Amino acid sequence: MGRIFNFSAGPSILPVEVLEEASRQLVDYNNSGMSLIEMSHRGKIYDEVHSGAIVLVREILQVPDDYEIIFIQGGATLQFGMVPMALLTADSSADFVVTGTWAKKAYQDARLIGNAQIIWDGADEKYRRIPSIDELSLHDDAVYVHICSNETIDGIQWQQLPDTGGIPLIVDMSSDIMSRPVDWNKVSMLFAGTQKNLAPAGMALVIMKKSLVGKARKDIPAYLRYDLHANENSLYNTPPTFTVWMTNLTLHWLKRIGGLPEIEKRRDRKAAMLYDAIDNSGGYYTSPVDKNSRSTMNVVWHMPDEQLENKFVNDAEKEGLSGLKGHRSVGGLRASIYNAMPVEGVQTLVEFMHRFMEKHG
């Protein structure tokens, strides 16, 4: 089989077992004579897949009973607008910690709806670190605080989520969902586009405290209403059935290999291998981010000049190491090492980094 190691930031690598299972079942799902993606989303067969995925999310992330688990099309970007449309008004305010490109986009959308306030901005420091909790002065009257737990482009990650006291914390976990447990004492809502750590693109996983769902506006178009999605078990309209199916398969895979404890072990091992390769390169590879804010999902680094970086990307590609170019807005290199990236993939990359440095360093 000609599988390569795909370090793309998203859509991104999926467990090969998941792809194989899907391809085995694609044409004729469980001897039903048709594909799951050709079936009614109101039928029994689809419902098992759909409800099964929701049950697995609850189990793996230990989601308490007073939270709703919802699937919504439109990815994380729709959530940037949908959250303020549901929870913010022209005369109420929300706090934003702008740690990078993605938190900034959420802020920009919220600003159209209500009084969005930046309480910390890493732009002047080129988004190289996560602030400490005492750098954040929350507004008492904020209806929520928005953070992005892992900045996919800038390669920084909250090591611990902040405690925002009585103000609901809303977290964009698109690129580190299912890579770490969630402290439900701190988090009132999270959302994540599925194409980083769960499934193909086409959907966001939303987990939201029931009390917050209760506060969400109801005088807005139906699709934007969290209460409708929650009350209809994410079947208010036709869900993206293929993406839900793949989410189900990925969660089964995750559970089978040992759940979050095993994922965390692999995650830390992979991240340590890459950061060690950078730190031990005598300055040939350099990390632009602060050590205590380093992402375990998206590892970014630079090389002495852009020409070398391009050569690195091209040579790596030839050896089956794909998707290593940094985001166009920041340049450099980036290796996305999501849950599905095997340890061997990172091992192969690190060996390539050593060889490249010996040859061109």
Ligand X SMILES: *Cc1c(COP(=O)(O)O)cnc(C)c1O
Q: Is 84 in the site for ligand X (CB under 6 A)?
A: no
Q: Is 270 tagged catalytic?
A: no
- If one asks whether residue 250 binds ligand X (CB under 6 A), the answer comes out as no
- Could you confirm whether 196 is annotated as catalytic? yes
| Coil/strand/helix, residue 243 | helix
Stretch touching ligand X by CB under 6 A, among 51-59, 169-177, 206-214, 223-231: 169-177
To the nearest whole angstrom, how small is the minimum distance from the Cβ of residue 191 to ligand X?
9
Rounded alpha-carbon distances, angstroms, from residue 258 to 189, 209, 251, 265, 266: 25, 27, 11, 10, 11
- The Cα 264–Cα 2 span in angstroms is 28
State both tokens at 42. 């109101």
The number of residues that bind ligand X (CB under 6 A) is: 13
Segment interacting with ligand X (CB under 6 A) among 193-201, 224-232, 259-267, 345-353: 193-201
| Shortest distance in whole angstroms from residue 202 CB to ligand X | 8
The burial of 181, by beta-carbon neighbours within 10 Å (0-12 exposed, 13-18 middle, 19 or more buried), is given as middle
| Contact criterion met (CB below 8 Å) for 118 and 98 | yes
Closer residue to ligand X in complex, CB, 191/275: 191
Q: Decide: helix, strand or coil at residue 193.
A: strand
Cα(313)–Cα(8) distance, rounded to whole angstroms?
12
Q: Does 102 bind ligand X (CB under 6 A)?
A: yes
Q: How far is the CB of 339 from ligand X (least distance, A)?
A: 14
Instruction: Build a one-symbol-per-residue string for 321-340: x at contacts with ligand X by CB under 6 A, - elsewhere.
Output: --------------------
C-beta of 247 vs 352, nearer to ligand X: 247
Question: What is the phi/psi pair of residue 3, to 5°?
Answer: -75, 135
Q: For the window 196-225, what string marks contact with ligand X as x by the rule CB under 6 A?
A: x-----------------------------
Q: Exactly one of 95, 104, 176, 196 is catalytic; which is it?
A: 196
Residue 102 near residue 174 (C-beta atoms within 8 A): yes
Which stretch, 53-61, 84-92, 171-179, 245-253, contacts ligand X (CB under 6 A)?
171-179
Q: Which residue is nearest to ligand X (CB)?
A: 75
Residue from 6, 12, 175, 336 binding ligand X (CB under 6 A) = 175
Q: DSSP for 272-293?
A: HHHHHHHHTTTTSSB--S-GGG
Based on the shown chain and the rule CB under 6 A, indicate whether residue 10 belongs to the binding site for ligand X: yes
Residues 31 and 304: their CA atoms lie apart, in Å, by 57
Cis omega (within 30 of 0) for bond into 11: yes
- In the annotation, is 184 catalytic? no
Asked if 77 touches ligand X (CB under 6 A), the answer is: yes
Whether 76 and 193 have beta carbons less than 8 Å apart is answered as: yes
Length of the chain (residues):
361
Q: Which of 15, 75, 122, 162 binds ligand X (CB under 6 A)?
A: 75
Q: Which of 162, 193, 239, 332 binds ligand X (CB under 6 A)?
A: 193
Residues annotated as catalytic (active site), given as ranges = 102, 172, 196
Using CB under 6 A as the criterion, which residues of the chain lie in contact with ligand X when the complex forms?
Answer: 10, 75-77, 102, 148, 152, 172, 174-175, 193, 195-196
